Amino acid sequence: MRLENIYLQPNSPFSKHISEWANKLGVQATEHTFKMGDQIADGLLLINANQDIDKEINVIHSYFDERHLPTQKIDVNGTLQVAISNFEMWFRNFKCKNIYIVGADDLTKNANLDRFLTKIEGKL
């Protein structure tokens, strides 16, 4: 299974961080303004810290969830191995090739985000 494209919210420090990480892996990262009715991605990866999710991101998650599209929430401040295992199982089972990744901008200051991203590199 190979991830082909990551969709990110435009003009966001979080998106820039994820885009730089994706480019290192050779995965295309595309900025895309989410609109109701969008179906550009196969699934949604919501990254958060301590289950803190802002309203805009929650709207996106609800949209995917209501349409029974694969969603995965990862709390980077939780147990790292659990987050990696859950992500790997989700990614393998749903075979998502194009995913929308969302998260709060303050996550870029959280060292656990980079720990998580480094650990899942081989899974993509």
Q: In the chain, what are the domain boundaries?
A: 5-119
For 40-86, write each residue's pLDDT tens digit. Answer: 899 999 999 998 888 989 999 999 999 999 999 999 999 999 999 99
Write a three-state SS string for 68-89: CCCEEEEECCCCHHHHHHHHHH
What are 1's two structure tokens? 């299974």
Query: Predicted confidence band at 122 (pLDDT cuts at 50, 70, 90)?
Result: confident
Q: Which two tokens stand for residue 55?
A: 């309203």
User: In the predicted model, is pLDDT for residue 36 greater than 80?
Assistant: no
Report the pLDDT value the prediction gives residue 34, as an integer from 0 to 100. Answer: 83
**φ and ψ at residue 100, rounded to 5 degrees:** -95, 125
**Smallest Cα–Cα separation from 73: which of 109, 46, 100?**
46
pLDDT attached to residue 1: 52
More reliable by pLDDT, 94 or 33: 94
5-119 CATH fold: Rossmann fold (3.40.50)
DSSP string covering 94-122: HT-SEEEEEE-GGGGG-HHHHHHHHHHGG
Which segment of 4-8, 33-37, 107-111, 114-118 scores lowest on mean pLDDT?
Answer: 33-37
